[in-house]
Amino acid sequence: MEHPGCAGGRGRVWGLADLGFSADACQCSRREPKNRVNCGFPGISGDECFSRGCCFDSSVVGVPWCFNPLPKQELEECVMEVSARKDCGYPGISPEECESRKCCFSDTIRHVPWCFFPISTEDCHY
């Protein structure tokens, strides 16, 4: 299924912006297939999936095609799987110190880097 205004291969639909969904492209395209949490039901269409506020990608077999996006971050460069974070600070670093290093800060998950390097958004797509 192709959706107007979408880039992607056969069967892939990333047209969230076309449907008023506020997720950044990175929130969907950077979600590792093995980490997808089902947000739909078997046979759900891309449009139905988007109306639930979810991402849709049918290009990977054996994983949910309708799935929850990665959490939104202040900057799109900071949206990534936790496993992709590369430490940019030290334990206890303040958000201000982290920002002065031109890095991303998120302290919502324990035992992972809270201050981490941003990554290019060139790989992000709808």
Q: CATH number, domain at 43?
A: 4.10.110.10
Helix (H) or strand (E) holding 25, with range, is helix 25-29
Distance (Å) of CA 16 to CA 2, 5, 24, 29, 104: 12, 10, 8, 11, 24
pLDDT at 2: 34
How many domains does the structure of the chain reveal?
2
Residue 122, classified by CB atoms within 10 Å of its CB into exposed (0-12), middle (13-18) or buried (19+), is exposed
In a domain, 86, yes or no: yes
pLDDT at 75: 87
Kindly state whether residues 77 and 110 are assigned to the same domain: yes
In a domain, 7, yes or no: no
In a domain, 54, yes or no: yes
In a domain, 28, yes or no: yes
d(CA 117, CA 98): 9
Cβ atoms 71, 81 nearer than 8 A? no
Mean pLDDT of each 10-residue bin along the chain, 126 residues long: 33 45 78 94 91 91 94 89 95 96 93 95 80
- Domain residues for the domain of 89 are 73-120
Kindly state whether residues 55 and 86 are assigned to the same domain: no
pLDDT at 23: 62
In a domain, 110, yes or no: yes
In a domain, 3, yes or no: no
In a domain, 125, yes or no: no
Name every residue whose Cβ is closer than 8 Å to that of residue 63 and which is 6 or more positions away in sequence.
33, 34, 36
Kindly state whether residues 34 and 67 are assigned to the same domain: yes
Kindly state whether residues 49 and 88 are assigned to the same domain: no
Kindly state whether residues 63 and 104 are assigned to the same domain: no
In a domain, 41, yes or no: yes
